[in-house]
Amino acid sequence: MTTIKFFAYLTEKVSPEGKVNASHCQTVGDLRNRISSEFPEIASELYRCMIAINMEFKQDTDELPETIDEIAVIPPVSGG
């Protein structure tokens, strides 16, 4: 299991930190789908969120690294 951290308004729906099983995921898109299934409370919002793996933002088509120390899910932010 890998540590996953949620930020901003996502923490109102799920705990700020959890665990996800990324063992059968090949790409960030696969991981996004896994997060959706393991955290259904935020599944409808994940398509808008950025995902960082080991503190580096990734695209859905990117391959996952062999070692994942941390996953961060960051929703869009607005300024003002």
**d(C-alpha 55, C-alpha 58), whole Å:** 9
pLDDT at residue 44, rounded to an integer = 95
The Cβ of residue 47 has, within 10 Å, a number of other Cβ atoms equal to: 9
Q: Domain ranges for the chain, please list them.
A: 2-74
Q: Is the pLDDT of residue 15 over 90?
A: yes
For the stretch 23-61, pLDDT in tens is 899 999 999 999 999 999 999 999 999 999 999 999 999
Query: Predicted confidence band at 80 (pLDDT cuts at 50, 70, 90)?
Result: low
The number of helix segments (H) and strand segments (E) in the chain equals: 1, 5
Which CATH class for the 2-74 domain? alpha beta
Query: Predicted confidence band at 79 (pLDDT cuts at 50, 70, 90)?
Result: low
From the number of C-beta atoms within 10 Å of its C-beta (0-12, 13-18, 19+), residue 26 rates as exposed
